[in-house]
Amino acid sequence: MKCIIIGAGKVGFSIAQLLSTEDHDVTVIEFDSERANLIDDALDVQVINGSGSSWRTLEKGGVKYADMVVAVTEFDELNMIACLLAKQYGVKTTVARVRNPEYLETPHFSPESMLGIDLIINPERVTALEISKLVNNPAALNVEYYAEGRVQLMELAVEEGSFMARKQIRSLNTARFVIVAITRKHKMLVPGGDEVITAGDHVYIMANTAEMPEVLQSLGIIYKRIEHITILGAGRTGTYLAHILEEQKLPVSIKIIERDVKRARDASIKLQRSLVINGDGSDLNLLEDENIGQSDLFVALTNDDKLNLLSSLIAQNLGVNKTIAKINRSDIMPLMQQIGIDVVLSPRILTAGAILKYIRRGDIISVTVLGEDRAEMIELVAQPGSIAIGKELRKIRFPRGSIVGAIVRNNKVIIPSGDDVIQSCDHLIMFSLARSIHKMEKLFINGGQ
Amino acid sequence: MVRSAVVLNYMGKILIIIGIAQLSVVLCALIYSEPNIIRLFISALITIITGFILSRTFAHNHGINYREGFAIVTLGWIAASLFGTLPFIISGYIPSFADALFETVSGFTTTGASILTDVEALPKSLLFWRSLTQWLGGMGIMALFIAIIVGLGVRANQIFRAEVPGPVSNKISPRIRDTARSLWLTYVVLSGVLFLLLSAFGMDIFDSLCHTFSTMATGGFSTKNQSIGYYSSPYIQWTITLFMFLAGANFALHYMVYKEKTISQYWQDKEFKLYSFIIIVSSMITFLGILHISGGEEKFRAAVFQVVSIITTTGYATADFDLWAPMGKGILLLLMLVGACAGSTSGGIKVGRYLIMLQRAKIELQQMVHPKAMMPLRLGDRVITDALVINVLQFFFIYIFIVLVSTLIMNIMGLDYVSGLTAVLTCIGNIGPGFGLVGPTRNFGFLSDTAKYLLSLLMLLGRLEIYPFLILFVPQYWKE
């Protein structure tokens, strides 16, 4: 597939990187020449220095033969215009990043259909939605849903002395769940039955959504419902998050701390039930006065990475159980987790993930990027006539670093063992490291190999 | 700067409207072939000619500026009141100027307090004039003026706001003139329905018309000495209760319900909800308070009627509530301080203002727990600005302050505390009867002229909601 990516910022870079490692032809259009050179050095892609809203540049980038255009510059209007132009050249799929909620919140018609853009993605909203999932699943560090919500994937941290620590996977009763992956010391691995879980691991557990609470219980994971949330920063992400949580009508009390008076006022007007506090999030006195230590969850969403880090640490020190921090510089993400922040989110990776999820559709139903672009969850339909059909799982030669997590057949979720046989039209939810994805896909697609 | 020519010109135009209204009184006298036709005609003529001379002499083609708006409203109301006394004085039925002024102001401001001992002794034409002043004052002389006269320009908006009661007024059409027209139309239609109902339930045509006028205006002038108590028919009493209730609600809301064709508009309005809630709770308490008086439905009807009559600042009576137990009287006294909805024809402080003040009180307490919290004041889906909150709180303060000082003055003039306080409350709140010496079976006739002038002033202050009136006493207002 030939893709044009407009804007080589953080998101553009991530997408270009992922697509190029997956053997797609990627052209990056970047206005800033220094940034363009940097991309040229770092990635195996074609780089064009110019504006994505100019037809000349687009033609130079081969827009006439492109299958897809992804516009992710920092300017909403430029992204939209680039997509409109691309559509005129007959590009099949266009994706634009648009942050301004005014362009998106139209009650009467979808902005996609109005503008002729196939997917409009809003990074702040994506981030807020991600966090809201974590609020609803307090035990998890990360939650994903597949097969229309029937299958759930959870990332859990294993602590010293917990039930799972120092156990062999074989010794756990794995009839109702699959451990699809483990992250250990920033490396992701697909465990066999002999693997021993150690403290500090993050395990990825896949199970039937309805059965997940029981699975967690059987694994000795106790969690408390989240009732008090403190959000630092009433920017777009913070306001979106509070808004989403308010809409869910859960018995959750929300406090938002924002330093800027105007932003605090705007948020207080927009939000109905949340308490907006105008003050400095790193001010210990304020945090103590407002009893932040009693919160079940502290979410740091300012645009300042250092402030997010600092205030999360203060919150933990005051007694908050769980902290989530937004980080713009994804290179320091692992570091943050080491310090003890429970969940670190990068809007850039989330946005890239959301865009990838969309553009990799087709044979594949959905894709989730796990960790930092090292692995993916893939949901696809086993096509009639593909190699895997009619075979028992143990007899299929899966590439290294890949595993089937769940099968959905006739709307029923099957947690597979080696004896299960793949039938045509099964929905498969699989985990795979990036390098093995193509081999993995070929097993289930008609005419593969 | 306030240009006197501009103000006088508009006062002239207002007088012409008042004069034309007085002509209808002449018509009434003609129908009932009363002997005072000529005198009534002369009074109408004086008003019209004065108005004509004023508007001609000070003809101009300037627009109104911001300051002149206030002067036009306040002085317009004063002029209307002064010339409104003419039918009473010239006909000779109320010869004293102080008495005639009290009666006229009480009419235009929809108060309904009277100096007459025997209302039924007045000729029909003057009874009609009393009720007509209430009907004109109810929806607003200025609103009528804006609806009729062309060329007021953008300042019409300000004049309109100065007259429409309540802290916030909704413009239901893009043009203020259309808004004024829609509101007047709603008013006329509701009046028409009430008139037909009252006639159908056996009230004679003349009394139906007069009671329609003073009910829709939440005025309270009756053609009978016993007020609505004269009509024993429960149908008439319930009908009047219902229409007092409707007239106490926001007319913009009635108009929207008519336009959107959904009754749910009412329940989405916070003020309307609180207004209904207060009426239900107060009726219950009052009912319990008068259980010692005999009668079942009758007693309940009396309780609801009186509660609605007082909260909407109408001031009709079906019973002598001055004889009720303290529980019932206490509720009525409280209601005198409440008033009905913004944008209605009622007087008083208004439920809308209480809604804002209660919300603000809640925020104030919450703010003590969270000193740095941002807590906008919401009324439905609308955020109330700090400036408006201060305006409302300040209004409440000035209102109470004026009540206290005026009560003191009444006491100095020899009135006992209960009569003095309720006389002041009932006048500034545009209600009508009070307790004690000014109770529902008595009148204001025995007061000294000074007291009558003071109460007339309070009625005007209350009707114009204080600010447009008081601003004329700010020295800078008249300067460059």
Min Cα–Cα distance to chain A from B372, Å: 5
Q: What is d(CA B207, CA B211) in angstroms, rounded to the nearest whole number? A: 6
Instruction: Using an 8 Å CB-CB cutoff, list chain A residues near B372.
Output: 277-279, 286, 290
Q: Do A277 and B383 touch (CB under 8 A)?
A: no
* B403, B424 contact by CB (below 8 A): yes
Class of residue B57 by CB neighbours under 10 A (exposed 0-12, middle 13-18, buried 19+):
exposed
Inter-CA distances, A100 with A73, A75, A97, A120, Å? 13, 10, 10, 11
What is the average per-residue pLDDT within B19-27?
93
Identify the CA nearest to B20 among candidates B56, B48, B61. Answer: B48
H or E stretch at A86:
helix A76-88
Among B359, B368, B372, the residue to mutate for chain A (most A Cβ within 10 A): B372
Q: Which residue of A has its CA nearest to B384?
A: A269
* A231, A301 contact by CB (below 8 A): yes
User: Does the pLDDT value for residue A92 go beyond 90?
Assistant: no
Instruction: Using an 8 Å CB-CB cutoff, list chain B residues near A290.
Output: 370, 372
- Residues, chain A, total? 449
* A443, A381 contact by CB (below 8 A): no
The domain made up of A2-121 is a member of CATH 3.40.190.10: no
Among A228, A230, A256, A278, the residue to mutate for chain B (most B Cβ within 10 A): A278
Report DSSP state, residue A63: G
Inter-CA distances, B145 with A235, B7, B181, Å? 50, 14, 10
What per-residue confidence (pLDDT) applies to A5?
A: 93
Nearest to B372 among A267, A272, A286 (CB): A286
Min Cα–Cα distance to chain B from A239, Å: 14
pLDDT band at A347 (very low <50, low <70, confident <90, very high): confident
Inter-CA distances, A360 with A18, A142, B121, Å? 11, 21, 93
What is the average per-residue pLDDT within A23-36?
89
Q: Do A278 and B370 touch (CB under 8 A)?
A: no
What per-residue confidence (pLDDT) applies to A391?
A: 84
Q: What is the 3-state secondary structure (H, E, C) of chain B?
A: CCCHHHHHHHHHHHHHHHHHHHHHHHHHHHHCCCCCHHHHHHHHHHHHHHHHHHHHHCCCCCCCCHHHHHHHHHHHHHHHHHHHCHHHHHHCCCCCHHHHHHHHHHHHCCCCCCCCCCHHHCCHHHHHHHHHHHHHHHHCHHHHHHHHCCCCHHHHHHHHHHHCCCCCCCCCCCCHHHHHHHHHHHHHHHHHHHHHHHHHCCCCHHHHHHHHHHHHCCCCCCCCCCHHHHCCCHHHHHHHHHHHHHHCCCHHHHHHHHHHCCCHHHHHCHHHHHHHHHHHHHHHHHHHHCCCCCCCHHHHHHHHHHHHHHHCCCCCCCCCHHHCCHHHHHHHHHHHCCCCCCCCCCCCCCHHHHHHHHHHHHHHHHHHHCCCEECCEEECCEEECHHHHHHHHHHHHHHHHHHHHHHHHHHHCCCCHHHHHHHHHHHHCCCCCCCHHHCCCCCCCCCCHHHHHHHHHHHHHHHCCCHHHHHHHCHHHHCC
pLDDT band at A340 (very low <50, low <70, confident <90, very high): confident
Report DSSP state, residue A398: P
Q: Do A275 and B372 touch (CB under 8 A)?
A: no
What the block records as the tokens of B406 is 């005026």
Residue with token string 């010239």: B90
Q: Which residue of B has its CA nearest to A288?
A: B370
- CATH class, range A228-350: alpha beta
Average pLDDT, chain B: 89
Report DSSP state, residue A232: E
Q: Which residue of B has its CA nearest to A263?
A: B374
The pTM score is 0.81
- List chain A domain ranges: 2-121, 139-211, 228-350, 382-442
What is the average per-residue pLDDT within A235-257?
90
Nearest to B372 among A265, A272, A279 (CB): A279
Q: What is d(CA B95, CA B101) in angstroms, rounded to the nearest whole number? A: 10
What is the average per-residue pLDDT within B369-388?
86
Phi then psi for B157, rounded to 5 degrees?
-55, -45
Residue with token string 């040229």: A40
Instruction: Using an 8 Å CB-CB cutoff, list chain A residues near B378.
Output: 272
Task: Tell me, yes or no, if A265 comes closer than 8 A to chain B by beta carbon.
Answer: yes
User: Does the pLDDT value for residue A352 go beyond 90?
Assistant: no
Domains A2-121 and A139-211 share a fold: no
Min Cα–Cα distance to chain A from B174, Å: 24
pLDDT band at B150 (very low <50, low <70, confident <90, very high): low
What is the average per-residue pLDDT within B120-127?
91
* Greater model confidence, B47 or A220: B47
Q: Which residue of B has its CA nearest to A255?
A: B373
Among A239, A269, A287, the residue to mutate for chain B (most B Cβ within 10 A): A269
For residues A275-301, one letter each, b for 16 or more C-beta atoms within 10 angstroms of the residue's C-beta and e for the rest, the string is: bbbbbbbbbeebbeebebbebbbbbbb
Q: What is d(CA B412, CA B261) in angstroms, rounded to the nearest whole number? A: 54
Report DSSP state, residue A195: P
Q: Do A277 and B376 touch (CB under 8 A)?
A: no
Q: What is d(CA A348, CA A336) in angstroms, rounded to the nearest whole number? A: 16
pLDDT, tens digit, for every residue of A373-416? 567 788 888 888 888 888 888 888 888 888 888 888 888 888 88
Cβ atoms within 10 Å of B236's Cβ, excluding its own: 22
* Greater model confidence, A94 or A352: A94
Work out the angle between the directed axes of helices B37-57 and B66-84 (0-180°, nearest 10): 160
pLDDT, tens digit, for every residue of A105-130? 666 666 666 677 888 888 888 899 88
Q: What is d(CA A345, CA A299) in angstroms, rounded to the nearest whole number? A: 10
Min Cα–Cα distance to chain A from B384, Å: 10
Q: Which residue of A has its CA nearest to B367?
A: A277
Q: Do B374 and A289 touch (CB under 8 A)?
A: no
Q: What angle do CA A373, A374, A379 make, to 5 degrees?
A: 85
* A296, A227 contact by CB (below 8 A): yes
Min Cα–Cα distance to chain B from A270, Å: 10
What the block records as the tokens of B66 is 């911001």
What is the average per-residue pLDDT within A84-103?
86
What the block records as the tokens of B442 is 């008595």
Q: Which residue of B has its CA nearest to A291?
A: B370
Q: Do B374 and A276 touch (CB under 8 A)?
A: yes
What per-residue confidence (pLDDT) applies to A107?
A: 64
What is the average per-residue pLDDT within A28-37?
91
What the block records as the tokens of B84 is 């409104």
* B230, B236 contact by CB (below 8 A): no
* A375, A431 contact by CB (below 8 A): yes
**Which 268-307 residues of chain A touch chain B by CB within 8 A?**
268-269, 272, 275-279, 286, 289-290
Q: Do B376 and A269 touch (CB under 8 A)?
A: yes
pLDDT, tens digit, for every residue of A414-439? 888 888 888 888 888 888 887 777 78
- CATH class, range A139-211: alpha beta
3-class SS of residue A129: helix
pLDDT, tens digit, for every residue of A251-277? 889 999 999 999 999 999 988 889 999
Average pLDDT, chain A: 84
Q: What is d(CA A434, CA B342) in angstroms, rounded to the nearest whole number? A: 67
3-class SS of residue A22: coil
What per-residue confidence (pLDDT) applies to B335?
A: 93
**Which 318-357 residues of chain A touch chain B by CB within 8 A?**
none
3-class SS of residue A85: helix
Q: What is the CATH number of domain A382-442?
A: 3.30.70.1450
User: Does the pLDDT value for residue A16 go beyond 80?
Assistant: yes
User: Does the pLDDT value for residue A449 go beyond 60?
Assistant: no
Cβ atoms within 10 Å of B264's Cβ, excluding its own: 9
What per-residue confidence (pLDDT) applies to B151?
A: 60
Q: Do A289 and B371 touch (CB under 8 A)?
A: yes
Task: Please give the ipTM for the structure prediction.
Answer: 0.72
